[in-house]
């Protein structure tokens, strides 16, 4: 016998937790279904930073309320308790393989501004999950773990959800099951989406890394593999610990080789890792699709990464989850009192204007383009050697790529004079991402089940 709710939310990541909290606080009966047995355990790699605290992102700006120990999304009008440690991220520096630096912000400057100079905030996602879960339960939500949702059937004025031998019925379903969403695939939301590639990662929390500072976001690139390999170093909010993650879009790249390259072989970076200790390991495997343009049909609303081009970032997922939960709660009220439907159409309009239009996925993907067109490490070293001034402090992929585009434009006259051979490669940056990534896309299969 199926149990009946007003709302079922599938997925207890950042977006699902906020969606359940919003709908539960409005007093509706809400079930939150999660496949993991322990919601507070982080099972997938994440940099665990909040993007973006010093500029608008999804029409909001994230703020850590130190006194009240709360994370606040000021414009969207919600906040939640977070009683774990945080660390301000002072700047984001991209290094070429040879160690030339492209800085988004100078840490010696941003640190002077304290909380208002940071580009991002490093936090502990397991503590954030625990804090959010407490609030979800306080909101009266029934939290059911160990449910791997495998079937969703829209039925008239509701939806039936099946998984792990159980059945649930609800007036609305919020699908917050992440970027490899089975629900989106089953219900046909993926039709018409462009498949680009995978995003594969593997990494470790690390101690005793001799990076330039433990409050810097650092990334770099290698071309020694068949397709580009990337390294991201994220600050952790525990002393000088770091979260070091190796990434690729291409399944032909062996991430252990990428890790070995940076930590043992590359003359510039390997020094940082001498004597470093590896702590907890993490990994992830995701699809990169173009976003879902219309995230609602048949009483199913998509929230967070479910309809996104790989990721909305934690901040975007939380904002989207909160808005989706609020929209469904308002829709329930509309249905009960006989009002014309406007809450869900408004969510869909918000998704289109705030995400699809203002954060074009092509811009997000362009963050991966440079190593695809500049296909020799020497070329990247040369381009980065030309950077004389810092770019604005930034940890927002959409803003960063705009700054990067302006920087490269400003370098063109010099490159034209000194290295005309690089101009055709630079020109390739203006090709569509489907062309830039063509060889990688061909090496991936969008039908493979990645979880
Ligand atoms: C390597 C890496 C580094 C990242 N670093 C950062 C960073 O530094 N800062 C940042 O802001 N973002 C970062 N992100 C992105 C961030 O992790 C996501 O944007 C965010 O977690 C999305 O939240 P979500 O709730 O939409 O989805 P998810 O976090 O993916 O949550 C989905 C939930 O649904 C559950 N689920 C899935 N399928 C089912 C099913 N069939 N039945 C039941 N439950 C199901 C999953 O177990 C999971 O709990 C990173 C991502 C990766 C991969």
User: Is residue 31 helix, strand or coil?
Assistant: strand
Above 90 in pLDDT, residue 352? yes
Vertex 299, ends 298 and 302: CA angle to 5°? Answer: 100
The domain over range 87-122+195-288+360-451 is classified in CATH as 3.30.9.10: yes
195 Cα: distance to centroid of ligand 1 (angstroms): 19
Q: Determine the pLDDT at residue 317.
A: 98
Backbone angles phi, psi at 449, to 5 degrees: -80, 110
pLDDT tens by residue, 167-210:
999 999 999 999 999 999 999 999 999 999 999 999 999 999 99
Q: If we measure between CA atoms, which residue out of 160, 158, 169 comes closest to residue 3? A: 169
Pocket of ligand 1 (CB under 6 A): 10-16, 33-36, 45-49, 51, 147-149, 163, 176-178, 182, 201, 234, 245, 284, 286, 304-305, 311-315, 317
Atom of ligand 1 nearest to the CA of 148: 42
Q: If we measure between CA atoms, which residue out of 411, 446, 439, 442 comes closest to residue 225? A: 439
User: Is residue 14 helix, strand or coil?
Assistant: helix
What gap in Å lies between CA 224 and CA 204, rounded to an integer? 21
User: Is residue 122 helix, strand or coil?
Assistant: strand
Kindly list the distances between the CA atom of residue 436 and the CA atoms of 196, 290, 441, in Å, as whole numbers in the listed order.
Answer: 10, 15, 10
Inter-residue contact 89 to 395 (CB < 8 Å): yes
Closest C-alpha residue for ligand 1 atom 39:
177
Among the residues of 187-312, which ranges form H helices? Answer: 255-260, 270-273
pLDDT tens by residue, 410-430:
999 999 999 999 999 999 999
Atom of ligand 1 nearest to the CA of 150: 41
- Is the pTM higher than 0.95? The answer reads yes
Mode of pairing for the β-strands spanning 30-34 and 70-73: unpaired
Quick one: fold of 3-48+124-193+290-341? FAD/NAD(P)-binding domain (3.50.50)
Q: Determine the pLDDT at residue 445.
A: 84
> 377-385 vs 397-418: helix axis angle to the nearest 10?
90
Mean pLDDT to the nearest integer, 70-93? 97
177 Cα: distance to centroid of ligand 1 (angstroms): 8
342 Cα: distance to centroid of ligand 1 (angstroms): 29
pLDDT tens by residue, 47-81:
999 998 999 999 999 999 999 999 999 999 999 99
42 Cα: distance to centroid of ligand 1 (angstroms): 9
Q: If we measure between CA atoms, which residue out of 204, 234, 219, 222 comes closest to residue 258? A: 222
Q: If we measure between CA atoms, which residue out of 129, 133, 102, 111 comes closest to residue 54? A: 111
Residue spans per domain, the chain: 3-48+124-193+290-341, 87-122+195-288+360-451
Share of the chain above pLDDT 70, in %: 99
Pocket test for ligand 1, best of 14, 42, 46 (most atoms within 8 A of CB): 46
Per-residue pLDDT band at 248 (split at 50, 70, 90): very high
User: 35: which 2 tokens?
Assistant: 């496949």
pLDDT tens by residue, 199-236:
999 999 999 999 999 999 999 999 999 999 999 999 99
What gap in Å lies between CA 326 and CA 332, rounded to an integer? 10
**3-48+124-193+290-341 and 87-122+195-288+360-451: identical CATH topology:** no
Q: Determine the pLDDT at residue 448.
A: 59
**For all residues of the chain together, what is the average pLDDT?**
96
Q: What kind and span of H or E run contains 198?
A: strand 195-207
Q: Determine the pLDDT at residue 54.
A: 95
Q: If we measure between CA atoms, which residue out of 248, 270, 243 comes closest to residue 258? A: 248
Inter-residue contact 96 to 103 (CB < 8 Å): no
Q: What kind and span of H or E run contains 445?
A: none
Q: If we measure between CA atoms, which residue out of 161, 162, 163 comes closest to residue 171? A: 161
Closest C-alpha residue for ligand 1 atom 33:
11
Inter-residue contact 174 to 331 (CB < 8 Å): no
Inter-residue contact 244 to 206 (CB < 8 Å): yes
Q: Determine the pLDDT at residue 405.
A: 94
Inter-residue contact 173 to 300 (CB < 8 Å): yes
Above 60 in pLDDT, residue 360? yes
Mean pLDDT to the nearest integer, 366-381? 94
Per-residue pLDDT band at 379 (split at 50, 70, 90): very high
Q: If we measure between CA atoms, which residue out of 122, 109, 291, 275 comes closest to residue 207? A: 275
Instruction: Give the length of the chain.
Output: 451
């Amino acid at each position: 016998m199926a149990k009946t709710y007003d709302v079922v939310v599938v997925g207890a990541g950042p977006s699902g937790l906020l969606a359940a909290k919003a709908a539960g606080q409005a007093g509706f009966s809400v079930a939150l279904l999660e496949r993991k047995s322990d919601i507070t355990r982080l099972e997938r790699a994440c940099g665990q930073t909040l993007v973006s605290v010093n500029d608008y992102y999804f029409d909001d700006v994230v703020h850590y309320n130190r006194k009240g120990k709360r994370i606040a999304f000021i414009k969207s009008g919600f906040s939640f308790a977070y009683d774990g440690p945080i660390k301000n991220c002072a700047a984001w520096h991209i290094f070429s393989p040879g160690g030339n630096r492209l800085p988004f912000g100078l840490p010696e400057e941003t640190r002077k501004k304290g909380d208002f100079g940071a580009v991002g905030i490093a936090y502990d996602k397991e503590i954030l999950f625990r804090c959010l879960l407490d609030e979800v339960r306080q909101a009266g939500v029934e939290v059911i773990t160990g449910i791997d949702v495998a079937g969703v059937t829209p039925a008239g004025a509701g939806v039936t959800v099946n998984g792990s031998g159980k059945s649930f019925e609800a007036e609305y379903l919020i699908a917050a099951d992440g970027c490899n969403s089975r629900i989106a695939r089953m219900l046909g939301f993926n039709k018409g989406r462009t498949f680009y590639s995978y995003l594969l990662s593997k990494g470790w929390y690390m101690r005793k890394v001799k990076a330039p500072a433990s409050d810097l976001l650092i990334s770099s690139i290698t071309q020694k593999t068949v397709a580009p390999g990337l390294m991201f170093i994220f600050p952790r909010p525990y002393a000088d610990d770091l979260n070091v993650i190796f990434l690729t879009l291409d399944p032909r790249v062996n991430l252990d080789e990428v890790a070995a390259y940076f930590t043992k072989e590359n003359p510039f970076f390997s020094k940082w890792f001498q004597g470093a200790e590896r702590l907890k390991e993490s990994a992830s495997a995701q699809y990169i699709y173009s976003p879902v343009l219309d995230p609602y049909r048949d009483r199913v609303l998509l929230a967070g990464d479910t309809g996104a081009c790989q990721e909305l970032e934690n901040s975007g997922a939380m904002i989207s989850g909160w808005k989706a939960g609020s929209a469904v709660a308002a829709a329930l009220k509309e249905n009960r009192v006989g009002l014309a439907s406007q809450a869900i159409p408004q969510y869909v309009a918000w998704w289109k204007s705030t995400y699809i239009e203002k954060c074009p996925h092509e811009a997000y993907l362009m963050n991966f383009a440079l190593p695809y067109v500049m296909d020799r490490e020497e070329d990247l070293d040369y381009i980065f050697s030309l950077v004389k001034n810092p770019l604005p402090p930034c940890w927002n992929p959409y803003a960063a790529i705009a700054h990067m585009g302006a920087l490269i434009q400003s370098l063109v006259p010099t490159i034209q004079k000194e290295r005309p051979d690089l101009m055709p490669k630079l020109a390739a940056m203006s090709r569509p991402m489907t062309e830039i990534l063509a060889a990688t896309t061909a090496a991936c299969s969008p039908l493979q089940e990645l979880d």
